[in-house]
Chains A and B, each alone.
Chain A
Amino acid sequence: MSGSIIDPRLANARAAPKRGMQLSWSDPVFRNIIWQTLIVGLIAGVIWYLAANTVRNLEVRHIATGLGFLSNTAGIPIAETLIPYDPATSTWGRAIAEGILNTLKVALVGIVLSTILGTLIGIGRLSKNWLVAKLTAVYVEVLRDLPLLLQLLFWYSLLQGLPGPRDFRGSTSIVFLTSRGLRLPLLNWEDAHSWALVVFVVGLIGTFLWNRAANKKQDATGTKPAVWPVALGLLIVLPVLVWAAMGAPWTLDVPVLKGFNMVGGGTITPEYFALLFGLVLYTASYIAEIVRSGIQAVPKGQWEAAGALGLHPFAVLRLVVLPQALRVIIPPMTSQFLNLTKNSSLAVAIGFQDVVSVSGTMLNQTGQAIEGVAIIMLTFLAFSLSISLFMNWYNARIALVER
């Protein structure tokens, strides 16, 4: 079992005599070292040459390198802000932080929505219903054949072609899709809602614990106590009771037309809407193919064997098919998430101010080209790395434990 000696007869075998490296062209080790030195030297030389040129060019143009400019006043307006920002006083550092947050906002929402849509379409392609299968196939084929930038510009131009807020005069609707973006009613947030949310989160933890206890009981006794009544009580009934006990406040902040524009409610700008919409539709077409091939990669016998054991179709999917399919799905899915994040930089073409757009404006106005490009690259490298790490962790967690 130790494995240190594979064959007892080999125990006395002598190791091949060790020769030192010969300083001769016929010695492969020596040759490899020479080659590598040459290649590394060449690349280092090129980099040195480019760096020297850069330093000279920067001197000629009187551009000071360094990140000091980040604390200068930016003076550019940013349409969508997640942290307080004032064009007159805020610094470039803050402007770029807004850009990074905007990229994050598109990427995270986009990843969630495109996963949902992509999974639905991928399953649709496997549907026994001919119409569903064909329609989803057409969707995938068409969206994958068109450049994303073209799609984004198209959606954006469609949104801009919508009637303006003025044309909705007298409308009784509470949701408005106008050329100025999507306006939605918002709930006036009160204490009762916060408390209901707190109870809901506690209920979520409680349900999770109950489910674990139920699984343990199933392992011990073979029968599993019902989970759904507990979940219903903790997740829906209790929060609603708390909300009702505190007076059941329910008022909406409805957008209304005032003058030439809408006021009230929440708003999603046409830039963000077009970017998110385009990214989600495009990425979903790729995710659909991944999901489809992942499910098809599970042999039919697995379905049949699980069915023969008497498992419910849903249990077959959850316990037998998905764990095997996910193993195939996760790695390409990760690269799609990365692609979506990188593709969100196309925002610059439709005027959504993500990190690329803000940095681009900055390098045009301050001339800090190297810093601007470095900021863009570092941001995306950091995003890529975090997504990869998260997905690798998830992949390791769901990976089938083989013998």
Chain B
Amino acid sequence: MSATTAGTQTPARAQPDANLPGPIAWAKANLFNGIFSSIVTLAIGAFVVWALYGLVQWAFINAIWWVPDTAAGKPDPTSCRLAHGVGACWAAIHDKWRFMLFGAYPYNEQWRAGICIALFLGLFYVSADRRFWNKNLATIWIGTLVVIFGLMWGGFLGLPYVPQDQWGGLPITLILATFGLALAFPLSVLVALGRRSTKLPAVKLICVAYVELIRGVPLIALLFMANVMLPLFLPDGVNFDKLLRAQVAFIIFAAAYLAEVVRGGLAALPKGQAEAADALGLNYWQKTLSITLPQALRLVIPPLVNTFIGFFKDTSLVLTIGILDMLTASKTAMADPVWQGVSTEIYVVLAIIYALFCYTMSSYSRSVERKLDVTKNR
């Protein structure tokens, strides 16, 4: 725009400034704009103040942060019992946070699980950075996941071996989510391509049936199925452990949803792109891998991240088949008779952890969306 057209434009007339500056004018325009609005503002304002006051009283002022030990060396919950319903018992979290985060992982080895969490976070951070979006990323992923599993299992370099049924807490949640995504994503791309195929009707039919069947049933049904039916499907003597069975169910579940997102991206891409690739004489895989798929995936980054968020939240459903993920471990921690009646506090801490993960992902998706918009409007 600009240099040539700017001279011909009539200078814009200054608009009279309707929004007088100042907090009072702002409040008048945004809070007390009319009788109805004022009543709503006052009512909601009163409610918010009341709720915040109660929350602060419960979570901070009346809260029990620390309790003394009994003679037996166990924490003495008397003060928490007295404060029940009036103040939060954060002392219980203080006592239980290791179990919530690491489940039944041997206490002295929990630093390993802690490093695994840090490695996962680093992996997510690197994957979110566009500078790393190249072939090295796959290498980074494989390398990190190998290290994570090595650390979790141990059995070398003097690290004691920790069998898989002792794993628990946040590492399980992250393993289920990350592996599920890492394996479901390539599968979903294949399914999406198959579903859009015009020349392979049999393949298309299989892909449609798979996606619609999986999306039609709840995840719990798939977890049940993996838990009770996989052992029936396999020959005698071959047996997966529970975590792997749940992981398989997750991958099958996630791939169906991701495939629909990827398909949306492929459908949104202008047809000219594929036609131009055909005209250049590229074969199907050259066309897909270097022309259509990269562009389609770029288009669907925000919905992909939203699917990831849903998937991360859904890992909590393994509670129903008794895998000790973060939610299940925390529920187990609540069952401790010492901290009887302490559940809200534990749920609040869990909620904060889950919300941190999900909020980070969703704000990342929004920022990518903004960046993509810039390139689109250029």
Q: Residues of A with Cβ closer than 8 Å to B?
A: 28, 32, 35-36, 39-40, 43, 50, 53-54, 56-58, 60, 128-132, 135, 141-142, 144-150, 153-154, 157-158, 161, 342-343, 345-346, 348-349, 356, 360, 363, 369-370, 372-373, 376-377, 380-381, 384-385
Contacts and interface: CB of A to CB of B under 8 A. Distances in A.
B277 to A, nearest CB: 16
Interface residues of B, number: 54
B319 A158 contact: no
A376 B316 contact: no
A153 B218 contact: no
B86 to A, nearest CB: 13
Contacts of B309: 145
Given A39-B206, A153-B331, A154-B344, A147 B216 contact: no
Nearest to B331: A153
B225 A39 contact: no
Contacts, number: 150
A370 B232 CA distance: 9
Contact of B33 (A32, A129, A158, A161): A129
Contact of A380 (B203, B216, B344): B216
17 contacts: A36-B200, A39-B203, A39-B206, A40-B203, A54-B232, A60-B236, A129-B33, A145-B359, A146-B355, A147-B314, A149-B319, A345-B218, A349-B320, A356-B220, A372-B228, A376-B221, A377-B216
Contacts of B358: 144-146
Contacts of A145: 309, 354-355, 358-359, 362
Given A39-B202, A53-B232, A376 B355 contact: no
A150 B316 contact: yes
B224 interface: yes
A340 to B, nearest CB: 11
B48 interface: yes
A57 B236 contact: yes
Given A147-B314, A149-B319, A157-B343, A348 B229 contact: no
B283 to A, nearest CB: 10
A141 B85 CA distance: 27
Given A145-B354, A157-B344, 11 more contacts: A129-B31, A129-B33, A132-B41, A142-B355, A147-B354, A345-B220, A356-B224, A369-B232, A370-B229, A384-B215, A385-B216
Contacts of A141: 359, 362
Contacts of A343: 218
Interface string B215-244: 111111100110011011111100000000
B44 to A, nearest CB: 5
B45 A376 contact: no
Contacts of A369: 228-229, 232
Given A60-B236, A146-B355, A131 B45 contact: yes
Contacts of B320: 346, 348-349
A146 B354 contact: yes
A131 B233 contact: no
B98 interface: no
A39 B40 CA distance: 63
B114 interface: no
Given A130-B31, A363-B228, A158 B221 contact: no
Contacts of B182: none
B166 interface: no
B199 interface: yes
B218 A342 contact: yes
A377 B347 contact: no
